[in-house]
Structure 1
Amino acid sequence: MEPMLSPADQPPPPVHVAIIMDGNGRWAKARGLPRTAGHKRGAEAVRRTVEAAREMGVSYLTLYAFSSENWKRPAGEVTDLMGLLRLYLRNEVNNLHKNGIRLKVIGDRSRLGADIVRLIEESEAKTAGNTALTLLLALSYGGRQEIVEAARALARDVAAGRLSPDAVDEDAIDARLSTAGIPDPDMIIRTSGEQRISNFLLWQGAYAELVFMDTLWPDFGRPELEAAIRDFQGRDRRFGTAR
C-alpha cells in the first residue's frame, strides 16, 4: 500500500485559474425553466467556486461573466443579467471582503449603467487591500478589443514621443492590458462541453492549459474545480520548448 501524500507533498495549485462559465441557458431549458432561472443558479455556482478557489490556494480567479458579444442577446435577457450583476455587487461584496478576497473588474465599463459602474468602483475600493484571492470579473469584455485598446495606447505614447517604436515589446503591451500586474492564467476552464475560447484572454492565455468539461455551469462547484486542477497538475507544461 502506497503511503498517503502529506499536504506539503501535494503539487501546488495553479496560481491563476480562468473560467468561461457556459451552460446556464441549457441547464434551464433541460428543466423547462426560463433562462433567467439558469442565470440565477449560475450565480450560486460563482459563490461556490470562489469559495473553493480560495480554500484550495488559488491566488487569482477570472470569471468570464459577460462578453462584449453578449450585448447582442435579447434585451430582456440582458436586462435580467444586469439585474443579477447589481444584486451580486450589492450582496456579495461584504462576504468577499470578510474572506479577504479582492475584487477587480475588467472590460468596457462605458456600456454599463452608471449605477453598476459606481457599485464596481465602490466594491474595488473596499476590497483593494485583500490578499487571500483576487477575483477578476470580466464584464462587457472582449479579448480582441482589449488588444486594440492596448495598441491605441501604445500609438498615442509613440506619437507623443513618450515611447520609442523600438521599445514596443511584449512587456509594453502587457502593461497596457486590463490585467496589467496580474500573472497570466495557468489554466482556462470552459464548461458545458463547448471547446473554444470565445474571445477570452486572447493575449494572456497564450500558454494556458485548456480544460473542457461537460458540466453545465449551474452544476459547477468544488468537485469540478478539484478535477480540473488534478488534470492540470498531471500535465507537462513546456511553454513551446522541447522535452
Structure 2
Amino acid sequence: MQQAQEIQNKKEELSLSSFLDKLKFPLKVVEVIVLIFMIIIFIFPFIWMISTSLKTTQEAIQIPPSIIPSKIVIENYIQAWSSGPFLRYLGNSLFITLSVLVIQFIVMVPAAYAFSKIRFKGSNILFGIILIGLMVPSQITFLPIYMMMSKAELINTYVPLILPFMTSSFGIFLLRQNFMQISDEIIEAAKLDNSSDLKIMFKVMLPMAKPAVITFALFSFIYHWNNYFWP
C-alpha cells in the first residue's frame, strides 16, 4: 500500500514537472514581449528628440505630429552650434563638475572614516549636525551664500560655483555606513604594517566601499552637471 502511494506521488511530481516545463516557453515569450515594450517606452523619447531636431520648424509643431521627418534639416545643428561658444560651455561644465567631485571626496572620505572608525568625544553630536544638513532645503542657503561671495568679491568667478559644494551630508552619511561594515581587524592589520590613517582611508577603505563611491559619484556628477540655477 505504501509502495503504491509512493508511485502515485512520483507520478504527480512528474506530471507537475512536465506541466511546468510546458509553461517555460510561453512565460519566456511573455517576458521578452514585456522587456521589448519597456525598452520602447524608454527609448522613444530619445528617438523623438533626434527626429524633432531634424525637422523644419513648421513640421516640428504640426498636429498630428510625425515621427519620421519629411525633410531632413541638418542646418539645425549648424545653427545651434554657431549660436554660442559651446566648447567654452562644455569646458566650464567639465571643470566645475569634476572640481566639485574631487574636493567632495577629499573632504568626505576623512569625515566618514572619523565618524565610523575613530572614537572621539562629541562624534554623535557632530554627525547629528551633519544629518540635519540633509533636511535643509537649498532655497534657504543660496541667498546667504550669494551675499558672502559678493562681499568677498568672488562673483563672476569659478569659486562660488565650487566652494559651496565642497562637501555633502548625503555623501558623508553614505560612506560612513559603508565604512562601518568593514571589519576593524582589517584596519588593525594595516596599522601593523605601519600604514598611516591617510593611507588606510584611500588605499584600504575607499576601494572596499567602491559601490557606494560609484553611486555617490554618479549622483553628484549628474546633479552638478544639470545645476543651471546656481550659475
Bigger radius of gyration: 2
Structure-1-length-normalised TM-score: 0.22
Structure-2-length-normalised TM-score: 0.23
Q: Which gives a bigger RCO, structure 1 or 2 (Cα 8 Å, sep 6+)?
A: 1
